[in-house]
Amino acid sequence: MIYGGGRAVIYVHKRHPLASWTFEAHRDYCKVTLNGIDFYSIYSPIPPPTRRARLATPWLSPIHSLAELERPNKAILMGDFNLHHPLWDLFNRETHGAEALLQLAEDWGLQLITPYGTPTRRFQGQRNSTLDHAWVSAPNGAPIATYEGEGDYEGSDHRP
């Protein structure tokens, strides 16, 4: 288990010998490098909802930390980004901060592989959201991973 004390974790199966991978653990993101691929688990806090709140409390997300890093050769970013945008949100919502994620995707050559509108957070009595995403490197336009379908965690309002 790779965990930095925050809200992101990566589990590495024991079939992968310890010497075959490296890791980093930060408060709200962690990274494992295995077989030449950098795997990131990310928790991005909810951005302030209003312009006034944004000015008073700047939004700090692991997205900003990753944007400062050199572009990886192959990467998979997964996690709870807490961002709405018409590119993935069925209800055409847009959250302040989504532009930072889109810029990171462009800079790193990533494609979103979570299908459009997939409900990854279910609300009782409210609209569902696509807040949890998977972004992957796409050398020559072909993504290095595919979406395999929705899972389920008992008692959680998120669906991986």
CATH code for position 9: 3.60.10.10
Per-residue pLDDT, averaged over 141-156, amounts to 71
DSSP-derived secondary structure letter, 87: T
Global pTM?
Answer: 0.86
Taking the C-alpha atoms of 12, 147, 122 and 65 in order, what is their torsion angle to the nearest 10 degrees?
60
SS percent in the chain: helix, strand, coil, step 5? 20, 25, 55
List, in sequence order, every beta strand (DSSP E) within the chain. 2-3, 9-10, 21-25, 29-34, 37-43, 75-80, 110-112, 132-137
Beta bridge partners of 31: 24, 40
Select the more confidently predicted residue: 35 or 91: 35
Number of neighbouring beta carbons within 10 Å of residue 104: 20
- pLDDT reported for residue 151: 58
Whether residue 10 lies inside any domain: the answer is yes
Residue written as tokens 């990886």? 72
Q: How does the average pLDDT of the chain come out, rounded? A: 87
45 pLDDT more than 60:
yes
Whether residue 151 lies inside any domain: the answer is no
Whether residue 63 lies inside any domain: the answer is yes
Question: How many structural domains compose the chain?
Answer: 1
- pLDDT reported for residue 8: 95
- pLDDT reported for residue 31: 98
DSSP-derived secondary structure letter, 21: E
Alpha-helix runs per DSSP H in 6-156: 51-56, 62-67, 98-108
CA distances from 67 to 61, 64, 94 (A): 10, 5, 20
Whether residue 147 lies inside any domain: the answer is no
Whether residue 51 lies inside any domain: the answer is yes
Residue written as tokens 């991986």? 160
Domain extent for 6: 2-141
Select the more confidently predicted residue: 97 or 119: 97
Q: What percent of the chain has pLDDT over 70?
A: 84
Whether residue 120 lies inside any domain: the answer is yes
| 75-80 and 37-43 beta bridge pairing | parallel
Whether residue 160 lies inside any domain: the answer is no
Whether residue 49 lies inside any domain: the answer is yes
Of the candidates 115, 144, 145, the residue with the CA atom closest to the CA atom of residue 132 = 115
- pLDDT reported for residue 106: 97
**Cα gap 119→19, rounded to integer Å:** 37
